[in-house]
Amino acid sequence: MFRTEEASSFDSDGTPAPGKPREISQAHFGMIVKLVYRHCGIALGDTKKAMVVSRLSKLSRNLGFESLDGYLAYLESHQDQESSIEQLLNAITTNRTSFFRHPEHFDYLEKWLAAEAEKSPHPEHPLRIWSAACSTGQEAYSIAMVADRIMQEKPGFKIRILASDVDTAVLKLAAAGHYVKAALNEIPETYRSFNHLDSGEDGWDIPPRLRSIIVFRRINLLRDRFRFSSPVDVVFCRNVLIYFRPPEQQQIVEKIAAHLRPDGLLFSGLAEASILPATLFKSLAMNVHTLRIRDSESKS
């Protein structure tokens, strides 16, 4: 099972407010940029100002402030309060995701897991897959559908999934596992019928069997130490590195490399393969990577 330090302690774009467009001073924008960068590493350039204004306007309304300025003044005086930072990060992160996003990744995973089950049908420990920026859960549940089918076919073979994100609001939605009717269309027919997925007008729920193989935790990829008890077999770290600057990207990638099984897999987003240093990773397929074991290590 997964055991991390974080385990124990373990997109929607905002819409502009109705009426008069809201503004934000350069000083307040600077404060937001600094806080977001300090607490989760996301780099907000000037081009993101309109997005920030829009999302924080929505947050200030939800929190009951009469104006965006009122919220900003509050934030200024509560910068050290964990809950204020959590609300800010939850508002700023971009959480766009879908089931079976980049479908070729799930085909690759299915074949790889089938080969693993063939090689070692009764392993001592479950194989572990980490969805490292899981947003509202669609990525983790897509992995679970693939993993579950393999486990049904090979009953001695066990797979467990850790799904994490820095945003506690999306994690709550992910753990609830309730989705709108239209989301069913993102799931390949074979998995829909295998899991008897069907939707009423008010949506549908992830079956308990799939939920039971996932644990959801808050993990900040940049600021938290990953204290896994043993190497992770597969990591999905997709469409999140793009939000960081190169130094933070390298830091995260190196941390992942340090916790990945030597012949394990790392799935990246479509625009993220070039972020991975060739000294650490080699490509197996489009945006599927494995560790590049140094010649000296592989010979010993």
CB of 122 or CB of 223, closer to ligand SAM: 223
Tokens of 178: 């309730």
Work out whether 211 is an interface residue with ligand SAM (CB under 6 A): no
The residue type at 65: F
Catalytically annotated residue among 128, 148, 165, 224: 165
Work out whether 166 is an interface residue with ligand SAM (CB under 6 A): yes
Work out whether 135 is an interface residue with ligand SAM (CB under 6 A): yes
The residue type at 195: N
User: Does residue 55 carry a catalytic annotation?
Assistant: yes
Work out whether 221 is an interface residue with ligand SAM (CB under 6 A): yes
* β partners of residue 214: 161
Work out whether 272 is an interface residue with ligand SAM (CB under 6 A): no
CB of 166 or CB of 280, closer to ligand SAM: 166
Work out whether 14 is an interface residue with ligand SAM (CB under 6 A): no
Work out whether 93 is an interface residue with ligand SAM (CB under 6 A): yes
Work out whether 108 is an interface residue with ligand SAM (CB under 6 A): no
Residues that bind ligand SAM (CB under 6 A): 11, 40-42, 93-97, 101, 133, 135, 139, 165-167, 170, 220-222, 238-240, 243, 269
Instruction: Show which residues are catalytic.
Output: 55, 165
